[in-house]
Chains A and B, each alone.
Chain A
Amino acid sequence: MNAFTFSRAASIADALRGASTGATFLAGGTTLVDLMKLDVEAPANVIDINRLPLAEIARTSDGGMRIGALARNSDVAHHPDVVRDYPVLSEALLSGASVQLRNMASTGGNLLQRTRCVYFRDTASACNKRSLGSGCAAIGGFNRNLAILGTSEHCIASNPSDQNVALAALEATVQIVGASGERSVSIADFYLLPGDTPQRETVVNPGELVTSVTLPPPAAGAKSTYLKLRDRASYEFALASAAVVATVKAGTIERVRIAMGGIGTRPWRSVDAEAALEGKPATAQQFASAAEIVLRDAKPQSQNGFKVELARRCLVHALTMAT
């Protein structure tokens, strides 16, 4: 591992000041320390932000919730208000990683979680995300766990998070602070498609700090589910997952939110599939049509063609469970 300077931020202002001269923030460490050991990340300066007062999980005045960026995945997943009002988020978090990792991993860190593409994690391989212009060894390589939606000729890396899929279905907002002040970004606008700039994954600029995630008030009378399909029963990343939040009245889908994981280069919300379902009867036929809409632009790679059918069935099953 490359040498680096280590400092502890005493305040948010202190952290931003340190970052203004080029530094990487360190929270739970479950992604960053791992990638530093692999030399995928080699920051010269590391600022430990774990003592900043950003771990609070609280109701907001509008009946929603604010989750501090340093709230640990375990604490969010088991928070009674989250369990009661946003069970899809609790289920998604508990389906990810292990208890030890969830005790460490932070909400903000999970938002910025990096891909598990094996070529991104191996500095001897070509990877445009890690080293722009070096190529993409995953195209035509080992890609069974990679994306079929939102890819480009430069990158097919999948976003590995479960949390972020639930946050997309819940229409969360991310609060970011930087030298020029605070801003809020809808989760729908937070992640960037790889295009020809796969090294840039989110709208967070260097030197900016994610401070919290807010959730709108829970949809009245909604049911939800998070369904995750993977190679082993626990402690594994999704091959396909679906977060569904649905309100059904007298057999008709009044409101539905759909996001999928494991198949996209970012957490994959499908507004088109939602629009196709709203006002329609909650039937298997409608669910199948919605799944067709999500997958209609799927671009399978050499090893992950199975994900098209897997994702289709995943969503149909999740819609069945949540309606």
Chain B
Amino acid sequence: MSTGTADVAFTVNGKAAKLAVDPRATLLDTLRETLGLTGTKKGCDHGQCGACTVHVNGRRVNSCLSFAAMHDGDEITTIEGLGTPDALHPVQAAFVEHDGYQCGYCTPGQIMSAAALLSEPCGPSNEDVAEYMSGNICRCGAYQNIVAAIQDVRGRKSS
């Protein structure tokens, strides 16, 4: 059975995109395969690891559990839209400063979550940050430095 395509228009990192997508295409696959924005990573593809985290209308979501066609009119921000090598976002700079990664695969998702956390009602402690970051898995185990980086940006001591 032919099920056609779905028209969708959204902005990605401030640039308008108008696409005819396969309804099955996730936002994650559309960003990576159609728009060539490969900074957003595919980890588990089931909402369990957070590697695919992007911002939709300013809120962080798992782009793997969303069809691209659901985002008509939305404003999407990926890691490519957060900062540039010459002008890092404060969270990016803090991850570099605190060595908040090892292999780096989860890092775009970690940074997108951490950037969103700055405007969320997260409590002051390291434990509060760990709770708010629990949707982002780091199999290298860089958690301690990730928390330190986030607390640094928030102007808090990490211990």
Contact = CB atoms under 8 A, between A and B. Distances in A.
Contacts of B136: 98
A5 B1 CA distance: 10
Contact of B65 (A30, A74, A235): A30
A100 B134 contact: no
B80 to A, nearest CB: 19
Nearest to A33: B65
B50 A44 contact: no
Nearest to B130: A234
A33 B46 CA distance: 8
Nearest to B131: A234
A205 B111 CA distance: 42
Given A46-B23, A103-B60, A104-B61, A33 B135 contact: no
A98 B131 CA distance: 8
Contact of A29 (B23, B70, B72, B134): B70
Given A6-B23, A29-B70, A103-B59, A97 B1 contact: no
Contacts of A99: 60, 113, 116-117, 120, 132, 135
B24 interface: yes
B125 to A, nearest CB: 14
Interface string A58-84: 000000000000000010001000000
B129 to A, nearest CB: 11
Interface string B115-134: 01100110000000011101
A104 B23 contact: no
Contact of B61 (A46, A50, A103): A103
A233 B131 CA distance: 8
Contacts, number: 82
Contacts of B3: 3-6
A235 B121 contact: no
B61 A6 contact: no
B130 A29 contact: no
Contacts of B96: none
Interface in A1-23: 1, 3-6, 8
B92 interface: no
A104 B50 contact: no
Nearest to B3: A3
Contacts of A44: 1
Given A30-B47, A34-B46, A103-B59, A98 B1 contact: no
30 contacts: A4-B23, A5-B4, A5-B23, A6-B23, A6-B69, A26-B67, A29-B65, A29-B66, A30-B47, A30-B65, A33-B66, A34-B46, A34-B47, A34-B65, A37-B45, A37-B46, A48-B67, A50-B70, A97-B135, A99-B117, A99-B135, A100-B53, A100-B60, A100-B62, A101-B62, A101-B135, A103-B61, A104-B61, A233-B131, A234-B131
Shortest Cβ-Cβ A-B pairs, 8 listed: A98-B135, A6-B23, A234-B134, A235-B134, A3-B3, A6-B6, A103-B59, A33-B65
